Amino acid sequence: MDPNEVYDPPAWAVKFLSWFCPDALLEGILGDLLEEFDNNVNNNGLSAARRRFIYSVFRFLHPSIILKNRKVIKLINMGMLKSHLKVAYRGMWKYRFYSFANLLGLTVAFAFLLLTSTFIYHENSYDQFHQKKDQIFRLAHEVLLKETGESLSKSAVTPVPLSKDLQQEVPAITKQSRVGSASMTLVKDNIPYEEVIVFVDPDFLGFFDFPMDQGLPKAALIDQSSMVLSAEKAQKYFGYSDPIGQTLSLNVNDSLINFQVTGIIDAKEKESSISVPILVNFEKFELLVGKQAMTSYNYSAVENYIYVETPQEISLLEGSMTEAMKKFSRGDDTEVKIFAQPLTSIHLEEDVPGTADYTTSRKIQIMAGLGLLVLVIAIINYIMLSTGHSLNRLKELGLRKSLGAFKSQLRIQLIYESFFITILSGTLGYVLALLLIPLFNNLIDSNLTLGISAIQILVMFLISILIALISGGIQAVILLKHKLVAALKGNSAIKNKDSILNQGLVVLQFAFSMILISGTLVMRSQLNYIQDKNLGFDEDRLVELTLGNTENTETATRLVDRFRNEALSNSQISSVSASMNNASEPWTTLGFLQENGDTENIHYNQIDADYLKTMGIELTMGTDYNPNSGNTANDILVNESLVKHFGWEDPLNQQIPGKNFDSKHRIIGVMKDFHFSSLHNEIEPLILSINQGAVSSGVTGLSTYYWPPNLYRVIVKIGPGELTPAVNFLEETWKSTIPNKQFQYRFVDESLDQQYAEEKRWRKVINAASIFALGIAWLGLLGLTRLSVQRRTKEIGVRKVLGSSIPNVIILLSKRFLILVSVAVVIGIPIAWLALDNWLQSYPYRIELNPLLFILAALIVLIVSIGSVSLQSLKAANANPVDSLKCE
Amino acid sequence: MEKNYLGEFEELVLTMVGILGEEAYGNAIVQEIETKLNRKVNLSAVHVTLYRLEDKNLVNSSMGGATTTRGGRRKRYFKITNTGLSLLHDMQEQRTELWKLLPTLKFSTI
C-alpha cells in the first residue's frame, strides 16, 4: 500500500453512521473510525479494512449511542417532514380541482378494494372456527364402471351407512357423523311451522365446534328424543323464557313425535358451510327415508363426515376406505372410490359439492379482479394527474433548488406529498367503505361487517406507500429532468406534448372502462333474454303451496282433493294440481341400469291428473291423463327430449329401456319440451306419472331433494282478477281443509326469478364497478384536458388573434385525447368480446354477441370523454385572447 | 450510599484514560489496551463505555483541535475526573483488603 495514497471507507457506511449517530458524538466517533481504517489499510490491505470499517459501524448501532441525549429516535427528520406536509397541504389547497379529483378517485378505489377484499376474506374464512378443522373430512364417492373405468357419478352426497360402516373397518376414523337435512313441519302448541331439520349423529357436536350457549356438546344429542336449537330458533319459539326441557313436535306422516330441547348452539350462520338451525338425533332420519335407506348403498341421501387423528395420512386412509368399500358395494358392475375433502375446503368445493353451502372460485376471482381493476384505473389516474399537474410547480422546485436543496431532497418531498394524499384517501376510503357496506351487502346478499383488522390496515398502508413511491418517483423523474433553475427565468422548456407514458395510461384506462361497460351491457341483455324466454309452460299467476310430508300418496291425494273441492268453488281459481318437485329446486333424477352396464339418467316428477292443465303444458302426441279412464297405474308421460334421446319414431309403443324392469308401462303422451330446471341447463329427458310404481322397478340410482315419491306441493292456477283476495281465499280454504299444515305459498314466477338472483347480483356488482371505473377515468381525462388547456393558453390566444375560429380551437384541443380514447375502444372491444363469449358459453340458452352492444359501449365511452374534453376546450376557446396574451 | 464499584471493562477503560492523561481518545485507548494487555477490544465497546463513564461523571470530554489525518475530524479527548480517580483508589483498597483475607497458598504433603 502506498502510504501517501488516500483511501476512503465505503460511503454508504459513513452515511449510515451519520444517520443514526447523534450529531454531538458523530465527529469523535467517525474520526476514530477513520483513524482505525487508515491503520487497517496499512496493516491489512484495503478490502479487509473496508470490511472491518463496516463491521465497526454496525457495532456502533448500540442503544447507548443511538439514544444518547434523545428522548425519541429520529428515524425521519421531523422538521423537514412537517415542512413537507405543510407544503403538500398548501399545494392541495392551491390546486383544489386536482386535489379533489385525485382524492376522489383514490378514495373510491380504496373503498371498493376494501369491500371486495372483505368479501374475499369472508369467503375464505368459512368453517375456520372449528378448532379441529384440519382433522375433519367430508367423504365423497365416485362410482366407476368396473370394465371401462368410466365415471358414472361423483358426489359428496353419499349413502347413509357410509361413514358408520367405514368407522368399523378403518380404525383411524375415531369419530364420524352423518348430516342429513329435510324440510319438515314442526309443531308447537298445535301451530305448524315449516322448518329445516338437520339429522346428525350424537358425536357431531363433539368434534364440530359450534359454541353451545346451553347444554353439553357431548351429551346433548345422545337421547333419541333430544333436540338442539340454534339461538335464532330458540328465540323464535320460546322468546326470552328458558327453552331447555321444553317440548317441540315434528309432524311425521301425520303423527306427532315429541322432542325435548337439550341444548342451544350458535349456528354461526354465514361462517359455517353446514347449516344447523335445528339438530336432532340421526336415528330419527329413518322416519323420513324408511328403514331400507338407512342401511342401503343404493341411495345417496346425506353427507358423511369423519374425524381422524392423523390428518397427514389422509391419502392412505382414502385407499383403505376404498378397499373397505368393496365389502359393502352392490356387487354389480360398478366399483366405488372414496375420497376425503378437508372441511376447510368444502366451502370452495365446486366440482364435487354436497348439500353444504358452497361458493364458486370464479366468483372470488371476479371479485378480486374487479377490485384490482378499479384500483389500477385509480392509480393510473393519480399518476397522470399528479405528474401533469406537478409541471406547474417547476418554478417552486427551481426556487428550492437555487436555495440549496439537493435533488434527493426534492425527490423525497414529492414522495412525501404523494404519501400524504394516499394516506388521506386511504382513511377516507375506509370511511366511505363503512358507509357503503350496507349497500354492498344488499348487492351481493351477504352479511359482511367491516372490521379494522391489523392485516387490512397494514395492506392499505403498504398500498399507500407503493402508490406514493410510484407516483412520487415518476413525478421526480419527469420534473428533475428539466433544468430547474431555468424554470425560474419563466421560459422553462415545458413541452406541450404529453409523454408516451401518459398516452399509454389513458388508453389503458379507457380500455378497461370499455371492457367493463360492454360486460354490463351484455350481462343485462343475456339476463333479459333468460327471463323473457318462453319456458314452455305458463308461469303467470301460478302459486305453489307447501304440503310437506304425508304418510303416503293416498293420504296426500285425499288432502289435495279435499282442498281442490273447496277451492274450485271460487270462480277465480281455475285449476288445482299437486306434484312432487317444485319450480325452484332441481327435479328428481332416476338412474336406469341398462343391459350393457350403462346407466340412463332421466328426470322424474310425480304429479296428479290435473298437472298439465294447471301448468299449461302442451302435448305433441297422445293424450293427457283422463280422470275417468280407470286404471292409470302404469301410464306415464314423457317429453320430446326423451323421445329424441332414444331416437323413437313411435314413442307411444315404446318402453323405457332398463335391465331391471319387471313390469310394462304405457307411454300415453308426449309433452312439448318445457323448462323444468333453470336455463343454466338444457332440457333433459323427463318422465311424469301419477303412480311412481309405473317405472320404479327399473330404478337403480337416484338423486333427489324429496324422497320418497309423494305429492309434496299443491299448485294453483289463479284466473284473471285481483290476486290478493284470491290468495286470502286460498289461505282460508287451506286452514279449513288441511289445518295441521302451515299455509305457505310462493308465486312460481317469483321463485323462478330467484334462480337468476346470482346473475342479477353479479350484474349489479359489475354495474357498480364499471360506473366507478368510467367515473374515475372521466375525472382523469377532465384533469388532463384542463392541464393541457392551461399550458396552451397563450398559444390559443395567438391562434385566435390570427383568425382561428372557436370550432377550430376546440378541435385542436380535443383531437389528441379523442384519438387516444378511440384507440382504447379499438383495443378494448376484442378483449371484451373474447371474455364475454367465454362467459356466455356457460349458458346453453344464450344470446348471440351483438356488435351493436359493443358499439353502444363504445359510444358511451366516447360521449363521456367528448363531454369532459370539449367542455374544457370550449372554455379555453371562448376566452378573450387579450387576457391570455396579457398574462405573463 | 453511592455505588463505589465498576464493571471490569469500565474499570479498565477508566484506568486507561488515567494512564493516557492528555492523549486519551477512543482509538488511543484501544491501542493502549492492545499493547499493554495484548487484548483486542472493539472501538465501539470503548466508545460506549466512555460515554457511560461520562454519564456517571467519572470522566469528562472535550473536542481537540483540527487534525490533518482522520479526514480532518477532531478528536474527542477524555480526562479522568477527581471522582473517577478516587473511585479507582477505593476499588484498589477494597481489593487489597480482600487479598489479605485470601489464605496463603500452602503445599500439602501427599
Does B71 lie at the interface with A, CB-CB under 8 angstroms? yes
Distance from CA of A65 to the nearest CA of B (A): 7
Q: Do the beta carbons of residue A136 and residue A130 sit within 8 Å?
A: yes
Q: What is the C-alpha separation between A268 and A281, in angstroms, rounded?
A: 20
pLDDT in tens, A120-151: 888 888 888 898 889 999 999 888 877 777 77
Question: Cell 483511501 belongs to which residue?
Answer: A7
Distance from CA of A79 to the nearest CA of B (A): 27
DSSP assigned state of B53: H
Q: What is the C-alpha separation between A248 and A261, in angstroms, rounded?
A: 7
pLDDT in tens, A348-402: 887 787 777 777 777 788 888 888 888 888 888 888 787 777 777 777 778 888 8
Distance from CA of A409 to the nearest CA of B (A): 26
Residue from B31, B35, B44, B76 to probe the interface with A (highest A Cβ count within 10 Å)? B44
Radius of gyration of chain B (CA): 17
- pLDDT at position A663, please? 84
Amino acid A323 reads E
Does B76 lie at the interface with A, CB-CB under 8 angstroms? yes
Identify whether A709 is preceded by a cis peptide bond (ω within 30 of 0): no
pLDDT at A3 over 70: no
Q: Do the beta carbons of residue A227 and residue A279 sit within 8 Å?
A: yes
Residue numbers in B near A38 (CB within 8 A): 69-70
Q: Which of A32, A64, A65 sits opposite B26 (nearest CB)?
A: A32
Mean pLDDT for chain A?
A: 84
Nearest residue to A283 via CA among A212, A196, A201: A201
Nearest residue to A516 via CA among A76, A811, A858, A874: A858
pLDDT band with cut points at 50, 70 and 90 for residue A457: confident
pLDDT in tens, A794-851: 788 888 888 888 888 888 888 888 888 899 999 999 999 998 998 888 888 889 888 9
What's the CATH fold of domain B8-101? Arc Repressor Mutant, subunit A (1.10.10)
Residue numbers in B near A27 (CB within 8 A): 63, 73-74, 76
Distance from CA of B27 to the nearest CA of A (A): 6
Max mean pLDDT range (A611-620, A861-870, B46-55) = A611-620
At residue A221, φ and ψ (nearest 5 deg) are -110, 10
pLDDT at A671 over 90: yes
Query: What is the H or E stretch that residue A874 is in?
Result: helix A851-878
Q: Contact B67/A25, CB-based, under 8 Å?
A: no
DSSP assignments along A343-370, one per residue = GGGGGG--SS--SS----HHHHHHHHHH
Does A25 lie at the interface with B, CB-CB under 8 angstroms? yes
Q: What is the C-alpha separation between A438 and A118, in angstroms, rounded?
A: 13
pLDDT in tens, A237-248: 998 888 898 999
Q: Contact B76/A62, CB-based, under 8 Å?
A: no
pLDDT band with cut points at 50, 70 and 90 for residue A412: confident
Please report how the helices A757-791 and A407-444 are oriented relative to each other, as an axis angle in degrees rounded to 10.
Answer: 150
pLDDT in tens, A316-346: 888 888 888 887 766 566 788 888 999 988 8
Which regions of A738-855 does DSSP assign to beta strands (E)?
745-747
Handedness of CA B83, B89, B93, B99 (dihedral sign): positive
- pLDDT at position A74, please? 47
Q: Do the beta carbons of residue A675 and residue A682 sit within 8 Å?
A: no
Q: Contact A59/B63, CB-based, under 8 Å?
A: no
Q: What is the C-alpha separation between A175 and A165, in angstroms, rounded?
A: 12
- pLDDT at position B110, please? 47
Over residues B41-66, the mean pLDDT reads: 87
Handedness of CA B98, B101, B106, B110 (dihedral sign): negative
Nearest CA in chain A to B54: A68
Does A554 lie at the interface with B, CB-CB under 8 angstroms? no
Does A67 lie at the interface with B, CB-CB under 8 angstroms? no
DSSP assigned state of A266: -
Residue numbers in A near B44 (CB within 8 A): 56, 59-60, 62, 65
Q: Which of A34, A59, A65 sits opposite B71 (nearest CB)?
A: A34
pLDDT in tens, A689-741: 998 888 888 887 777 777 778 898 999 999 998 899 999 999 999 999 988 88
Residue numbers in A near B69 (CB within 8 A): 34-35, 38
pLDDT at A68 over 70: no
pLDDT in tens, A255-269: 889 999 999 999 888
Over residues A4-19, the mean pLDDT reads: 80
DSSP β-bridge partners for residue B105: none
The three three-digit cell numbers of residue A158, written as one number: 353419499
Q: Which of A27, A56, A65 sits opposite B73 (nearest CB)?
A: A27
pLDDT in tens, A472-504: 887 777 777 766 666 666 554 455 455 677 788
Distance from CA of B83 to the nearest CA of A (A): 22
pLDDT at B1 over 60: no
The model scores a pTM over 0.90: no
Please report how the helices A407-444 and A394-402 are oriented relative to each other, as an axis angle in degrees rounded to 10.
Answer: 140
- pLDDT at position A312, please? 86
Does B66 lie at the interface with A, CB-CB under 8 angstroms? no
Does A22 lie at the interface with B, CB-CB under 8 angstroms? no
Q: What is the C-alpha separation between A205 and A671, in angstroms, rounded?
A: 49
- pLDDT at position A499, please? 67
| Domain range list for chain A | 11-66, 133-359, 495-533+755-888, 549-740
Q: What is the C-alpha separation between A176 and A320, in angstroms, rounded?
A: 16
- pLDDT at position A607, please? 92
Q: What is the C-alpha separation between A699 and A632, in angstroms, rounded?
A: 20
